[in-house]
Amino acid sequence: MFDLMLIIFLGVISQWIAWRLQLPAIVLMSIAGLLAGPLLGIISPATSFGDLFNPFISLAVAIILFEGSLNLNFKEIRGFSKPVGRIVSIGALIAWIAGSLAAHYMAGLSWAVAFVIGGLFIVTGPTVILPMLRQAKLNARPAAILKWEGIVVDPFGALLALFAFQFVLFAIGDETAAAFGLFFLASLFAVILGVGAGFGMGRMFEKGQVPEFLKSPMVFGVVLLTFVVSDMIMHETGLLAVTAMGMTMANMNITSINDMRHFKENISVLLISSIFVMLTASLSLDVLLEIFNWRIIAFVLTTLFIVRPLSIWLSTIGTDLSWQEKTLIGWIAPRGIVALTVSGYFASTLLDAGFEDAELLTALTFALVFSTVVAHGFTIGWLGRKLGLASSEAPGVLIVGGSRFTISLGKVLKEMNQKVLIMDPSWGRLQQARQAELPNFTGEILSEHTDYEVDLTPYEMMVVATETDSYNALVVNNYVPEMGRLNLYQTAIHTGDPADFHASLSGRTLFGNDWNIHELDWKAEQGYAMRKTQITGQFTYEEFKERSIEGTIPLFIKRAQGKLEFITADSEIEPKEGDTLVSFSPPEHQEIRVQGKLESNRNRIESQSKE
């Protein structure tokens, strides 16, 4: 019980620290496992869980891979399916051959073991690539290519290693040609089983044969069943089955697919956190010391700087990928849980078959996994920005709803060098935005097509300010899993009790409970305007309040460090020296400013005439 608690706690706390410090979570989880396991000897999961250790990890990998494949909608790669197809086929083949050569000549493995492990090392996988993509905020195209490669190649890497193993046994006379036929039949069965399970579940959901509260648990159970049935027929085909199941459901346009994605994503985060701690904590000191073998180091460096770039650049010849995209994709290829777990299976199997050099596989795999996780985790964001494939600007603001007030808000944000996008289903309501040359998009924020037509990655905050209160709340709740409730704002409601409405349904209420979008638009029509005020040592916030005209509405603060903070009904406004306060001021304020300037000029002229 203590070991299980500590594993979950270390995994989750590592994720939280990584989020706070903007560091790769995988790296911190691996370090936490090494500290708790071989370095300090606090836990040894492999010993504690005994026979349940490997089955637990295998089932967890199946769930993680299914969750990732639920995001593989073919609409996402419309326009660049050719490079994706090349990378997961020709690129994987080149990586297998080049990796096997590196394993033989650099790591000193026999040809048989080298070709088995070379096939396995083509995998990247959702356990490592998806957390990195969340952190790096890459542009939509390179992010989609890396995601698709990681999820699609994951099961094929294990199957490729299994194929190479079957071939090795056939070459030494331990297997017959019939074994190859069985291998391909088992792989075909896995695909058919996965597609059938996914199609069957999707049809049941669409026909209303499964209640809402049972959908996610039922999918959870069917995923495990599909994986185990396929894996019992032939080891390692279960991953192919759950991937096929996830991709089938992702492309059926199931209405409740988002709810399942959120549930699976929460489960996957917990499983990824726990598994990385378990695997690294189960390593021995001997394995860690063996990593520093010069042959292993040479193999890792060859894989990083020759095998991976070579496979990407050669496989994407004739595609429309830019050299920047090829460079980024050719560098990013972190190995993860599948490589660690499957290599352990093949290490023991190859040793039993008489290949003594297979004892090096555990150290070799961990060296590659840890090196790629660290190297790629710390460089993906930096390299993406250097190549112009990731946003280098401050987190932007997405405004939903085109109106006189939101256009004014967008203008002032743009003037302050803040990335902004205004979205509305009506072309007409965005006319003023187009005239002001503000970035805008005519479309429905809740539509699935919007995900494929607009890159929302640069926008970490959302302001929902349409005229319909219930729609505002619906948009906010839909984006809570992606953006977090603290980054979701909506204007106050104009019907009902705000306290009851916002307590359970909405995000943070902008500017106070009195200022709904109708009131704000009316004030904009009356001549209210955006006013920027620099808070200094000479002009404090207290002085601003004293000089402000009645009716002035504080909107947001841009901190001296560049962070944006909206004023909400539940926030205490505390602008400090160096901050910029933006307010919505009555037209009288402009008149007073003009009169003040005229008076100042008059006094200056009078003083000059006296002189």
At 326-367, the pLDDT tens digits run 999 999 888 877 777 777 777 877 887 778 888 888 888 888
396-600: what fold?
A: Rossmann fold (3.40.50)
Using CA atoms, how far apart are residues 124 and 335, in angstroms rounded to an integer?
5
Of 75, 450, 62, nearest to 250 (Cα)? 75
CA atoms within 13 A on the CB side of 521: 16
Residue 610 pLDDT greater than 60, yes or no: no
Other Cβ atoms closer than 10 A to 174: 12
pTM: 0.71
Residue 594 pLDDT greater than 50, yes or no: no
Using CA atoms, how far apart are residues 479 and 474, in angstroms rounded to an integer?
9
At 184-232, the pLDDT tens digits run 888 889 889 999 999 998 888 888 888 877 888 888 899 899 999 998 8
- Would you state the pLDDT for residue 302? 93
User: What is the mean pLDDT of the segment spanning 247-251?
Assistant: 84
Of 531, 497, 493, 524, nearest to 511 (Cα)? 493
52-386: what fold?
A: Na+/H+ antiporter like fold (1.20.1530)
| pLDDT higher at 290 or 197 | 197
The residue type at 255? T
User: What is the mean pLDDT of the segment spanning 63-89?
Assistant: 78
The two structure tokens encoding residue 543: 């002085």
Residue 394 pLDDT greater than 70, yes or no: no
At 565-579, the pLDDT tens digits run 888 877 777 788 888
Residue-range domain boundaries for the chain? 52-386, 396-600
Residues 6+ apart with CB under 8 A from 86: 315, 316, 319
Q: Of the given ranges (23-27, 301-305, 469-473), which has the lowest mean pLDDT?
A: 23-27
Other Cβ atoms closer than 10 A to 556: 25
